[in-house]
Amino acid sequence: MSGTQTIKPDKILKELGELWTNMGKSDEAEDQSHGGGLLRACAMTLISFADDEEDCIALGEVIAGLMKEHPSRAIVVRVREGEDYLSARVFAQCWMPFGHRRQICCEQVEITCSMDRLAHVAAIVGPLAVPDLPRVILLRSARVVRSGAIRKILPLGDKIIVDSARAGACGFGEIGGLLDAGHIAGDLAWTRITELRSLIAQVLSSRKPSTITIEYEGKEAGPEARYLDAWLEVSLPDTRVGLKGSGQPGSGKPTIIRIDGDLTIQLAPGGAEVRIGSLEQWASLPSGTDEQLLNSELSIVVHDRVFERVLNHITA
């Protein structure tokens, strides 16, 4: 456990080292009887920013879930009310894969700070990142996004992940700004429609549609519907693509995709009903929890040219 006001990266790194040494020793003692073991796993540094008012427990659960697919040094920065507050602690997340005898453990650093100390966090987090591995920033906090400290925080990451569908989060213009600044950017609103896009690509693999209408819930199209519209326009330049709202209040999410006169994809919880003429078939589409979306987004740590092209199309 670090002190409450002055935090040095070296001290946190030392605490991490001690954590592993102690875990290794206690495991060794246990190992005598159980023949198990402990494996330290790390494939990236994941830096996430959460608002105090946000449910930090939920974020913790998401990160714990992510560790299995993306073992990382997780640095969680909790921004709290008040002034002049800064503290840090280190701990490990461990799990035992089914059927295995060896625990897999990832390290986690939790930094709690007040808004006025947010700019200092960049100087702490930078040295804590694992060398030579990707550094990904998950920006869930609207306050952090709008703060002046963001200019110091963004350079810490190779990739910045936002969710434009969250209230108060980055909009298309701000994401475009990240791309212009040379960052790799990811938007969970785009990730959310991956399976739907894949299904559309599959059903259109052997046809060239003349018209596609994306119907959505509500009066204004949400980011997912707009991404879908832009992607279809970019991918099928000879096809007339349009958006159509239900006119009633709603989320702005897509509900039905109508392709020419004979093909519809009607979205439903967990999947979609595909109708091609008289053939009806259910296609499973994962519901897309934050954990699933992040799992997918963390797998991509290079520039996603399809996403960038679509975003440019929207912001042009």
Partner 1 sequence: MQDPLRFHRKAPPCAVVIYGANGDLTKRKLMPALYRLAYEGRLAPGFAVVGVSRTAMSNDEFRDRMHDSVKKFLEDSPFDEDLWRSFAQGLTYVAGDVGDPASYVELGKHLAGICEDRKTEDNVLFYLSTQPSQYAEIAEGLAGAGLNHGAGWRRIVIEKPFGHDLDSAGVLNGRLQKCFNESEIYRIDHYLGKETVQNIMAFRFGNGIFEPLWNRTYIDHVQITAAESIGVEGRGAYYQEAGALRDMIQNHLLQVMATVAMEPASSFTSDAVRDERAKLLRAIRIMRPDQVADNAVAGQYGPGRSGSERVGGFLSEKGVNPDSQTNTYAAVTFLVDNWRWAGVPFYIRTGKAMPKRVSEIAIQFRTAPLAMFRKATAGAETVPNMLILRIQPEEGISLKFVSKRPGSGMQLRPVSMDFNYGSSFGERSPSAYETLLLDAISGDATLYTRQDMVEASWTAVQPIMDYWATQKFNFPNYAAGTWGPEAADEMLARWGHTWRKP
Where does this chain bind partner 1 (CB under 8 A)?
A: 39, 41, 43, 67-71, 97, 100, 104, 191, 194-195, 197-206, 235-236, 274, 276-277, 279, 281-285, 295-296, 300, 302, 304-306
Least Å distance between CB 222 and partner 1?
20
Nearer to partner 1, 71 or 157 (CB): 71
Q: Could you tell me the two tokens for 131?
A: 């060398």
Count CB-CB contacts under 10 A for residue 136. Answer: 26
Return d(Cα 141, Cα 17) in angstroms, integer: 30
Nearer to partner 1, 141 or 296 (CB): 296
Least Å distance between CB 74 and partner 1?
14
Least Å distance between CB 86 and partner 1?
33
Return d(Cα 197, Cα 210) in angstroms, integer: 17
CA distances from residue 167 to 28, 50, 171, 186, 274 in whole angstroms, order as listed: 48, 14, 10, 17, 31
Least Å distance between CB 281 and partner 1?
4
Least Å distance between CB 138 and partner 1?
18
Nearer to partner 1, 148 or 305 (CB): 305
Nearer to partner 1, 235 or 251 (CB): 235
Nearer to partner 1, 12 or 16 (CB): 16
* CA-angle at 52, arms to 50 and 57, nearest 5°: 70
HSE, side-chain direction, 13 A CA sphere, residue 221: 20
Size of the chain, expressed as the number of residues it contains: 316
